[in-house]
Amino acid sequence: MNAHSQPTPASNFPLPITDKEGLRSALAEANLPTLLMVYTTYAQDRAYLESFAPYMTGIYTAEAPSNVPEDMAQDLRDRLFALLTSPTPPVERPIDPELLRTMMSVSVGEEVDPAIMPVLYDQMGFERPVPRKDIPGRIPPPAGFRVLVIGGGMTGIAAGIKLGEAGYDYTIIEKNPDLGGTWYENRYPGVGVDTPSHFYSYSFELNPDWSSYHPKGPEIQNYLTGVAEKYGIRDHVQFQTMVVAARWDDAQSNWHVTLRDVKTGAERVEVANAVLLAHGVLNRWSFPNIPGLDSFKGPKMHTAGWDPDMDLTGKRVAVIGTGASAAQLAPAIAGKVSSLVIFQRSKHWVLNNPDIAVPVNENIHFALRHIPHYKEWFRFRVYWFTGDGLYGNVKMDADWPNKDVSISAQNDAARNYALHYIHNKLAGRPDLIEKIVPDYPIFGKRIVLDADGGWLDTLLRPNVTLETDHIDHIEEDAIVTKSGKRYEVDVIALATGFELAPALGPLKVYGRGGCDLAAAWGKDEARSYLGVMAPAYPNFFMTLGPNSAPNHAAGVNMVLEAQIHYIIEALDKVVAAGGKAIEPTEQAYLDWNVKVEDQMKQMIWSHPKAKSYYLNSKGRNYVSCPFKLADYWSWTRNPDPEAMVIS
């Protein structure tokens, strides 16, 4: 699929598989569409593949029962068992692109557009990219060409890996004592990820060992630090260091970056040819402006600043907020506290995702670890149903009749699915139903994912109160609402999210002629080209910059990989041209923003009832990418020479 890639070698999965009992058990429980893809990879029997097509549906859960007749399913398992245990291992042959597309289409029960084949092949890990520095004919970066990466989280680690593979000298600046970013910082009970684990990982480092289909924070942190160790990233990191400012030197065509030691406060200046901003968007805590908060005498913690040594047993606890963090925290602590009062500031749609609480059993682990290509094809299914498959939920149908409560047939179906779950879970509690069901279309804000034993079950516990009366003030030992209710509490948990504006945070960036990026953007008017660059700021690259966050679906890992690829392509173009700097033209920047604004008018975030942290003070969404992941990936393959200026 790519001139610089090659199929993953079969030697990564030694054949024949000698643990026949383990294989039989794995085949009995493994995902059947995924097994069919593995078999077809070797057999390339189109007729056999298509015999399964009538039984494949577009319904996804990790361990969904199969609609395939048992005799057909067992025949497939028997064929795979014979193939994988044969003393003469099967030979892998290149797969014709049309057969590959048919395989994908059968797997998910719907037609796969040929146009998105390259992104699927790349992001599912089907290929092992050749390190860029080994590409024949590529001009290597000159000695001393240095890239400074700000942030050592998921993006910074990936950037370091790919810059190293491209032969660039790089340094990662990280304010914390360790790598991991948000997963290092967020340690509150129950912290985890909404994205399914088998997609929330690097395409070049798929992990067959996730313990559950939605892992908790410590496991994600261990994955990230494990990948960093494998690629020697720590050798390139300056820990407990903050970037204060970056100033472009017009005469020397490089960046002078002011760094501050977190422990001593001492500052120094380092020089870099390029700066890559990888500090993420969820790293500045948002504190509520509640009178008396500072007067509270007990412990008060933002979820991102949780004290893991805090013992809540028998305590009276208040949680302020009902978003994703609160919905993870509350179920994790409700069973040990004496009372829990949850203060709701705004309503969030609650969607049932039964996979959240499901562990990956040993038979599935066996399949992921030992059956060739199983984990890649399994990742494909996860992406398909939790990535761009959800785009119809956020794209308005101009002809949809009831736009007050939904925006499309797919969005309406999701709304009804959520309502059914809420009404079933809270049957007999119409007071709670009235409190939590929003009046805006589902996906207008970030949703809360739930499962048995989770958020809604927690609200039903006798020691839990959901309070919708707004907080008036906080006293030394209590929270008082507008109507005068007084809740005595020992601990306050602030599940109040993050501050996205200003986009740069405290960082100061000065481009050509000293132009100030923070001043140009103001508090919440951040704009860019492709979410990656801005004119007048040469060799300054952003990741997850303005309007590039994938808020319609899972996929932040996919976007950050695409952006890192684009950034290195841009740097390579500078090197190949014998130049020193690259930046987008003013026209390219303006055209891109017009394209974003036009598309945004068709998205759910422009719905009059959809008020969220994605919107700035003027109601403009400056965070979300209004395009499909696959389209954005395609646009970031190569910088458009007409849109770039190399100097």
Q: How do residues 592-612 score in pLDDT, each as one tens digit?
A: 999 999 999 999 999 999 988
375 with 420, same domain? no
Residues 394 and 388: their CA atoms lie apart, in Å, by 11
Is the whole model's pTM more than 0.85, yes or no?
yes
Res 325 pLDDT > 60: yes
For residue 477 the two structure tokens come to: 């030992």
Instruction: Kindly give the residue spans of alpha helices, DSSP state H, lying in 426-528.
Output: 430-436, 455-459, 517-521
Mean pLDDT, rounded, for 69-80: 97
Q: Which of 473, 494, 515 is the last residue of a domain?
A: 494
Mean pLDDT, rounded, for 585-593: 98
On whether residue 357 sits in a domain, the answer given is no
Residues 619 and 617: their CA atoms lie apart, in Å, by 6
The pLDDT, as a whole number, for residue 1 is 39
Residues 403 and 65: their CA atoms lie apart, in Å, by 35
341 with 484, same domain? yes
Q: Which of 475, 494, 513 is the last residue of a domain?
A: 494
* Tens digit of each residue's pLDDT (9 = 90 or more) over 603-641: 999 999 998 888 888 899 999 999 999 999 999 999 999
Instruction: Kindly give the residue spans of alpha helices, DSSP state H, lying in 62-116.
Output: 70-85, 97-108
469 with 342, same domain? yes
279 with 338, same domain? no
On whether residue 354 sits in a domain, the answer given is no
On whether residue 631 sits in a domain, the answer given is yes
The pLDDT, as a whole number, for residue 283 is 65
DSSP string, 276-317: EE---SS-SB-----TTGGG--S-EEEGGG--TT---TT-EE
On whether residue 355 sits in a domain, the answer given is no
* Tens digit of each residue's pLDDT (9 = 90 or more) over 328-363: 999 999 999 999 999 999 999 999 998 888 899 999
* Tens digit of each residue's pLDDT (9 = 90 or more) over 255-289: 999 999 999 999 999 999 999 999 877 667 888 99
| 463 close to 339: Cβ distance less than 8 angstroms | yes
Residues 404 and 409: their CA atoms lie apart, in Å, by 13
In sign, the C-alpha dihedral spanning 10, 11, 15, 19 is negative
* pLDDT over 70 percentage in the chain: 96
417 with 504, same domain? no
437 with 569, same domain? no
* Tens digit of each residue's pLDDT (9 = 90 or more) over 461-513: 999 999 999 999 999 999 999 999 999 999 999 999 887 767 788 899 999 99
On whether residue 53 sits in a domain, the answer given is yes
* Tens digit of each residue's pLDDT (9 = 90 or more) over 183-235: 999 999 999 988 899 999 999 999 999 999 998 999 999 999 999 999 999 99
On whether residue 111 sits in a domain, the answer given is yes
Mean pLDDT, rounded, for 550-564: 92
246 with 378, same domain? no
517 with 489, same domain? no
524 with 614, same domain? yes
Residues 641 and 361: their CA atoms lie apart, in Å, by 50
| 107 close to 36: Cβ distance less than 8 angstroms | yes
On whether residue 306 sits in a domain, the answer given is yes
SS3 string, 557-587, reads: HHHHHHHHHHHHHHHHHHHHCCCCCEEECHH
* pLDDT over 90 percentage in the chain: 83
Phi, psi of 169 (to 5 degrees): -75, 125
Whose tokens are 């149908």? That residue is: 397
Res 8 pLDDT > 70: no
The pLDDT, as a whole number, for residue 464 is 98
| 313 close to 290: Cβ distance less than 8 angstroms | no
Going from the C-alpha of 98 to that of each of 9, 44, 260, 324, 456, the distances in angstroms are 22, 11, 55, 41, 46
Q: Which of 440, 463, 494 is the last residue of a domain?
A: 494
222 with 170, same domain? yes
90 with 159, same domain? no
If one compares 382 and 155, the residue with the highest pLDDT of the two is 155
Q: Which domain holds residue 190?
A: 144-284+500-646
Number of structural domains found in the chain? 3
On whether residue 438 sits in a domain, the answer given is yes
Mean pLDDT in the chain? 93
Q: What is the CATH number of the domain that holds 174?
A: 3.50.50.60
The pLDDT, as a whole number, for residue 498 is 80
190 with 325, same domain? no
Q: How many CB atoms lie within 10 A of CB 89?
A: 18
